[in-house]
Amino acid sequence: MKIIKENNIAKVIIISFAIILLALMLLTIYFSIDRQYGEFKKELNNLKKERINNQKIFLKREMNSVVHFIRFINSDKHINKRSAKKIIFNYINSIRFGENRSNYVFVYKILNFNGGNKFAKMLINPNRGDLVGKYISDSYKDADGKEFRKEFLKDIRRKGDSFVTYRYKKLGLNTKTLKLSYFKLYKKYNWVIAAGVYLDGIEKSITLKKKLLLKNVKKEIVLTVLIYLIFFIIAFIFSMFLGSKIDKFFQEYKDKVNRQKAQLEHLNLNLENRVKFEVEKNREKDQFLIQKSKFIALGEMISNIAHQWRQPLNELSSVMLNIKMRYRRGVLDEKYFNEKSNDIDRLLEFMSQTIDDFRNFFKPDKIKKLFYVKKSCKKVESIMKSSLKDKGVRVQVQIDSDIKIFGYESEFEQVILNILSNAKYILMKNKIKKPCICITSKQDENHIFLYIKDNGGGISSKPVEKVFEPYFTTKESSSGTGIGLYMSKLIIEKNMNGWLSAKNDEDGAIFCIKIKKGG
């Protein structure tokens, strides 16, 4: 079943545009949300690492203070060894720090640095008085099954200190809580002096921070969705406007066809006046054929518009994302906002100009006029720029800027478009590695010559002039109608008093447009 029909082309364009735009927006929103959640997780991990590193610095500082005190007491010659240890024991037992003063210092005397069931004796432990004076084993496991004593003992042998996390009973409570401890060797007595901090406070602060960050992320997601929704509504309204213009264009075309049909029926009823009537209306019929040729090219033109819009749509998406990111960071100042607003206006102006070019391209000329050849060729190149770029086709326009010809500018541009479209097709069909189309000009005393050359391998039909016959095509049935080059020859030779010819050279085809100076 044929989906695209004459009476629903505008609707198909609008629906297709809306679906493509919606898909692009949904993908952009998805990746934006995914990136924000990634940053959210990263920030939480960094926060946790920072808090733990701060605790490590704090513990290390506390242990160094204890070691300095021990060295100070031992260095006092007025205090005997027994009294010094008693002072040290009393001092360490009295140390309390942290939240609710629940953290303390404990001391092991290492008997065997290689470990074992009696690798050390507990000398001081304010939290576990039942262990003081008893031998301890390195095989002891915490609530998670971790043998943390083996872990810190390995570091003590290697570098003299160690940071270890494990679960241990909190002072004054029966529950076991995650704890970070720092163990430091005091070699003179083979003591391992240690202190730890319970991490439940960090976990609580992380949880609160997580809730706050999650709230901000959700707020940003809602803002992102709202921005894209507004953009989608604006784009959809614009596409509706475009659809109404296309509907109007086709309605005018349909009315014209109906008028032509009525005129033909009238000619059949008045046979003796037919020849005279056709001569008088010959120009109008030519215009009808030209418009028909343009209608056939409409599908390709719509594709060109889609190519032209792709880059500005991507740029609009990028500008919107930058505005949102600045707003989230609180650095969206007036200067930056005005700058990006100007960028949006420029992109929308470009898209609007694309529609104007499309509309003007299909508007039939009524009178002949002088126009610049290079400007017309550049206009056609601009219309086809994106589709040619996607196919990797390089176009070179080497025409003197002051060359002007007299005729119908829109029809002349239709000729250039037909020749360029055929060249692009043959370059793609033959899979040319470095496809190129070159447009050059020269002039003599009486004529202007315009050459359009490609490196696609040439015209395969024999003779070459056969390509100008009506309904002759080398394209597949779904890709060509055989009317484009016929209409091009008719426009140049009948409407502009010129000549259109074609030939092959060693690289490809050359089309030559020859027009008298002065029209």
Residue 119's SS3 state is coil
CATH class of 369-516: alpha beta
- Own/partner contacts of 265-269, CB < 8 Å, gap of 24 or more, are none
**Per-residue pLDDT for 307 more than 90?**
no
Percentages helix, strand, coil for the chain, rounded to the nearest 5?
60, 15, 25
- Residues present in the chain in total: 519
Which region holds residue 232: left if phi is over 0, alpha if psi is between -120 and 50, else beta?
Answer: alpha
Cα 3 to the chain's mean position, in Å? 31
Residue 208 corresponds to which amino acid? L
Cα dihedral: 166, 167, 171, 173 (round 10): 170
Nearest to 498 by CA among 407, 421, 409: 407
**In this predicted structure, what is the pLDDT of residue 399?**
92
- The two structure tokens encoding residue 355: 């529609």
Please list the residue range(s) of the chain that carry CATH number 3.30.450.20.
Answer: 100-197
Residues 361-402 pLDDT 10s: 555 566 788 889 999 898 888 777 777 887 889 999 999 888
3-state secondary structure of 15: helix
Q: What angle, rounded to 10 degrees, do the helices at 282-296 and 200-269 form?
A: 150
Model pLDDT for residues 244-302, shown as the tens digit of each residue:
777 777 778 778 878 888 877 777 777 656 656 665 665 665 555 556 555 555 555 56
Cα torsion 359, 360, 365, 371 to 10°: value is -160
The average confidence (pLDDT) of the chain is 79
The CATH number of 100-197 is: 3.30.450.20
Residue 477: pLDDT band (50, 70, 90) is very low
Asked if 411 and 373 touch (Cβ cutoff 8 Å), the reply is no
With beta carbons less than 8 A apart as the criterion, state whether 446 and 517 touch: yes
- Per-residue pLDDT of 79-135, as tens digits, reads 888 888 889 899 998 888 776 777 889 999 999 999 899 999 999 988 888 889 899
3 state DSSP class of 436: strand
Residue intervals of the chain classified under CATH 3.30.565.10 are 369-516
Of the pLDDT bands very low, low, confident and very high (cuts 50, 70, 90), residue 30 is confident
Q: Is the pLDDT of residue 13 over 80?
A: no
Q: What is the pLDDT of residue 397?
A: 92
Q: Is residue 381 a contact partner of residue 261, using CB atoms and an 8 Å limit?
A: no
Tokens coding 215: 């709230």
Separation CA 233–CA 240 (nearest Å):
10
The pLDDT of residue 292 is 59
Between CA 113 and CA 226 the distance in angstroms is 64
Reported as a single tens digit per residue, the pLDDT across 164-211 is 998 877 666 667 788 889 999 998 889 999 998 877 766 676 677 777
Cβ proximity of 209 and 181 under 8 Å? no
More confident residue, 174 or 428: 428
Q: Are 138 and 129 in contact (CB under 8 A)?
A: no
User: Does residue 510 have a pLDDT over 90?
Assistant: yes
Apex 125 CA angle, 123 and 126, nearest 5 = 135
Radius of gyration of the chain (CA): 43
The beta-carbon contacts of 11-20 under 8 Å, at least 24 apart in sequence, are 11/243, 13/239, 13/242, 13/243, 13/246, 13/302, 14/239, 14/240, 14/242, 14/243, 17/235, 17/239, 18/236, 18/239
Beta-bridge partner residues of 406 = 370
Helix (H) or strand (E) holding 491: none
Between CA 48 and CA 205 the distance in angstroms is 9
Share of the chain above pLDDT 70, in %: 79
What share of the chain has pLDDT > 90, as a percent? 16
Stretch 342-367: mean pLDDT: 65
**In degrees, to the nearest 5, what angle opens at C-alpha 241 toward C-alphas 302 and 380?**
30
How does pLDDT run across 449-461, given as a tens digit for each residue? 999 999 988 888 8
Strand locations in 135-292 (E): 135-136, 161-169, 176-186, 191-198
pLDDT value of position 450: 94
Residue type, 405: I
Beta bridge partners of 194: 106, 183
Specify the higher pLDDT residue, 392 or 307. Answer: 392
